[in-house]
């Protein structure tokens, strides 16, 4: 038996492991991601704010394809197997190439000619720099790199001159920004603009809130290529969604609506509770237990999963304990430039949860340091921060930079060590929504914001990216030609960019990614084919046929003409008799003129026509004169022999004589 087993193992070793197994036909990943690829020319990488792409270069929300920012695709004369590859490019076979970072765009074709014959080799992408420039290139001098860091020099195979030349070309081709913009998918479902966005820390679940009063929940792990949400919520009927925020552990999330009460849900969308509403008749806001007007913004504490922050139109910020929905922990009243209640339009925590920033309706920016025994007096107050309402505030992780976005079409960068004047101001950023935000890239070398669509402008909604160190525009990415970009986020774990768009008719969430540098998220759901329907999915619609049903439930034939004829018959339709005025006629007794309101209204409406009141009594009597002469009755026949001829008085009116 042992000899037979050894013989079987020896024979089996000569066959591949997949021998005898039926392999399922799968669509190659190249074709899957090519279906969501953005075509070339959507966005312009520029350092001038006046550089804007045309409207024809933008994708639409209704399934339109997007555009590509990055190197162009290889020419058509290349082989199909060399046209597109997802993953790192093929190296020279050394061990160090396994740790090499993936490149953006299609890989370079493998060398087909000797190294000395470089002039005849087809060039893909931008032209090569001069020979002296590649040798002096340095990664640190070429700008920040978004994404995984480059491997150390020792990890690259030094025996491959071709790889060294390619690396030198990549270093000098551009500033080194690794932005995932090559592919795009759209999460649809909302009927109005998407005003709130929240992605959990693992990058597996996405929340989107809209002006259509609903919140949709998307799960990348359970979603297929149909990109449908698995749950839809309506926190408060008739109130717009203004903010969504995950807890630090991503087990709960908060929903902020236009009502005065924020709601807490668990990860699956089940309601855990809502905070109490305050007493609107109490003048001092510190004596109320909650907000008394609509909320404007809310954010979960970045470290403490039991603490959240909300701002409201009643002119206050409140810190809440999630375990106690009956009352808040702290009430913060901002410093106002004029008496009265000025709304707080937005609020934000810093990355350590030690400071709070609030944007006030008068255009001022105020920052509070959280400490024991602290009061509402702000530690930093900037009175002329913006000329209009502030829509978003964002702290950097190092606590040195604060970004502010406003209705006045500007984005300002503030140095928290010197708040007297803005570090830099970016203008020409139209903003029509109170939820338009600003966000940082994962390494915080870039920050991005969206723009709104203007009436007489053909550029559409764009996503603008700026360099933090150089304070200049990096790129304007066209997201939609007809919809405004409201919320945006760049998730650090899956390296994908989210942008919400929409208007009063439709809304959606655009997800930008690159198969070579992004992970999970959109890549998982796009590559997953829809589940095949089985017999268990069939649901028969019940149809009940009962020929002996009661007449009440029986379908009667249409008798419209018969019903109209019946309504005209006063006896069959039981039409009541109209009231009368005057002495009455036809055996019916009338009443005095205008004694009843009903009779007066009927008379004024023309339903009662009294012709005798409009007649002349003399003419009414004279029309019977001939009849009285020819056929006298009662007294006249007795005096017929002796009665003289009757002479009537003539009218004195000139009209009658004529």
Q: Residue 276: which residues within 8 A CB-CB, separation 6 or more?
A: 261, 289, 290, 325, 326, 327
Q: For residue 473, give both structure tokens.
A: 């525009």
Q: State residue 66's pLDDT score.
A: 40
Read off the tokens for 654. Answer: 């000139």
**pLDDT for residue 552:** 63
Residue in 169, 77, 85, 168 with CA at minimum distance from that of residue 122: 77
Q: For residue 198, give every residue at least 6 positions away whose Cβ sits within 8 Å of its Cβ, in sequence order, or none.
A: 206, 207, 244, 245, 246, 253
Centre a 10 Å sphere on the Cβ of residue 595 and count the other Cβ atoms it contains: 10
Domains of the chain with CATH codes? 260-427 (2.130.10.10), 551-613 (no CATH)
Residues forming beta bridges with residue 390, ordered by sequence position = 406
Contact 323, 267 (CB under 8 A): no
- In this prediction, residue 168 carries a pLDDT of 40
**Positions in the chain whose pLDDT score sits under 70:** 1-27, 40-176, 531, 537, 544-558, 579-613, 648, 651-658
Q: 508 - beta bridge partners?
A: 501
Can you give the three-state secondary structure of 507-555, one letter per residue? EEEEEEECCCCCCCCHHHHHHCCCCCCCHHHCCCCCCCCCCCCCHHHCC
Decide: helix, strand or coil at residue 252: strand
What is the model's pLDDT at position 341? 86
Helix (H, G, I), strand (E, B) or coil at 169: helix
Task: Determine the 3-state secondary structure of 618 from DSSP.
Answer: helix
Looking at residue 491, what is its pLDDT? 94
Give the Cα separation of 426 and 81 in Å (integer): 45
Opening angle at CA 462, ends 38 and 233, nearest 5: 90
DSSP count for the chain of H helices, then E strands: 11, 31
pLDDT value, residue 263: 95
Q: Judge contact between 182 and 515, C-beta under 8 A.
A: yes
CA 466 to chain CA centroid, Å, is 24
Q: What is the pLDDT of residue 121?
A: 46
């Amino acid at each position: 038996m042992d000899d037979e087993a050894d013989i079987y193992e020896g024979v089996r070793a000569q066959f591949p492991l997949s021998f005898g197994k039926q392999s399922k036909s799968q669509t190659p990943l190249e074709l899957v991601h090519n279906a969501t690829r953005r075509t070339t020319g959507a966005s312009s990488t520029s350092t001038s704010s006046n550089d804007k792409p045309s409207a024809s270069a933008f994708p639409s929300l209704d399934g339109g394809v997007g555009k590509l920012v990055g190197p162009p695709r290889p020419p058509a004369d290349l082989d199909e197997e060399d046209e597109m590859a997802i993953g790192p490019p093929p190296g020279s076979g050394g061990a160090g190439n396994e740790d090499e970072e993936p490149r953006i765009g299609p890989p370079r074709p493998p060398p087909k000619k000797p190294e000395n014959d470089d002039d005849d080799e087809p060039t893909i992408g931008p032209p090569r720099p001069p020979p002296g420039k590649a040798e002096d290139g340095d990664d640190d001098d070429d700008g920040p790199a978004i994404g995984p860091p480059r491997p150390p020099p020792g990890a690259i195979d030094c025996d491959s001159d071709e790889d060294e030349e390619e690396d030198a070309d990549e270093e000098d081709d551009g500033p080194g920004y690794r932005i995932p913009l090559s592919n795009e998918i759209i999460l649809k479902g909302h009927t109005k603009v998407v005003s709130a966005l929240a992605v959990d820390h693992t990058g597996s679940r996405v929340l989107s809130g809209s002006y259509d009063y609903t919140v949709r929940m998307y799960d990348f792990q359970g979603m297929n290529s149909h990109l449908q949400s698995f749950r839809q919520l309506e926190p408060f009927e008739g109130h717009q969604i203004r903010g969504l925020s995950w807890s630090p552990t991503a087990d709960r999330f908060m929903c902020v609506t236009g009502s005065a009460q924020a709601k807490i849900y668990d990860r699956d969308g089940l309601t855990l509770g809502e905070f109490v509403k305050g007493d609107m008749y109490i003048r001092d806001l510190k004596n109320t237990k909650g907000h008394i007007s609509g909320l404007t913004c809310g954010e979960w504490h970045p470290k403490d999963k039991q603490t959240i922050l909300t701002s409201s139109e009643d002119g206050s910020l409140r810190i809440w304990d999630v375990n106690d929905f009956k009352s808040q922990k702290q009430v913060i009243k901002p410093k106002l430039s004029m008496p009265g209640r000025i709304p707080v339009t937005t609020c934000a925590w810093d990355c350590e949860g030690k400071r709070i920033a609030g944007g006030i309706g008068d255009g001022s920016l105020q920052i509070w340091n959280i400490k024991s025994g602290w009061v509402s007096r702000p530690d930093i107050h900037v009175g002329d921060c913006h000329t209009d309402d502030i829509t978003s505030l964002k702290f950097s992780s190092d606590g040195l930079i604060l970004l502010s976005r406003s209705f006045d079409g500007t984005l300002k960068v503030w140095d928290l060590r010197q708040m007297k004047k803005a570090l830099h101001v970016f203008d020409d950023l139209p903003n029509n929504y109170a939820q338009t935000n600003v966000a940082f890239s994962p390494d915080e070398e870039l920050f991005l914001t969206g723009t709104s669509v203007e009436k007489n402008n053909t550029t559409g909604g764009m996503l603008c990216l700026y360099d933090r160190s150089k304070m200049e525009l990096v790129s304007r990415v066209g997201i939609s030609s007809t919809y405004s970009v409201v919320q945006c986020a760049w998730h650090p774990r899956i390296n994908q960019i989210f942008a919400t768009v929409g208007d009063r008719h439709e809304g959606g969430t655009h997800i930008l990614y690159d198969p070579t540098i992004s992970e999970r998220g959109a890549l998982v759901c796009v590559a997953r084919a829809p589940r095949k329907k089985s017999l268990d999915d069939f649901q028969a619609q019940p149809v009940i046929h009962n020929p002996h049903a009661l007449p009440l439930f029986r379908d009667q034939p249409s008798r419209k003409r018969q019903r109209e004829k019946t309504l005209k018959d006063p006896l069959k339709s039981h039409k009541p008799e109209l009231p009368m005025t005057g002495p009455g006629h036809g055996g019916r007794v009338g009443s005095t003129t205008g004694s009843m309101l009903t009779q007066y209204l009927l008379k004024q409406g023309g339903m009662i026509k009294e012709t005798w009141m409009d007649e002349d009594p003399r003419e009414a009597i004279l029309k019977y004169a001939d009849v009285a002469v020819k056929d006298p009755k009662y007294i006249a026949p007795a005096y017929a022999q002796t009665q003289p001829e009757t002479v009537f008085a003539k009218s004195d009116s000139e009209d009658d004589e004529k």
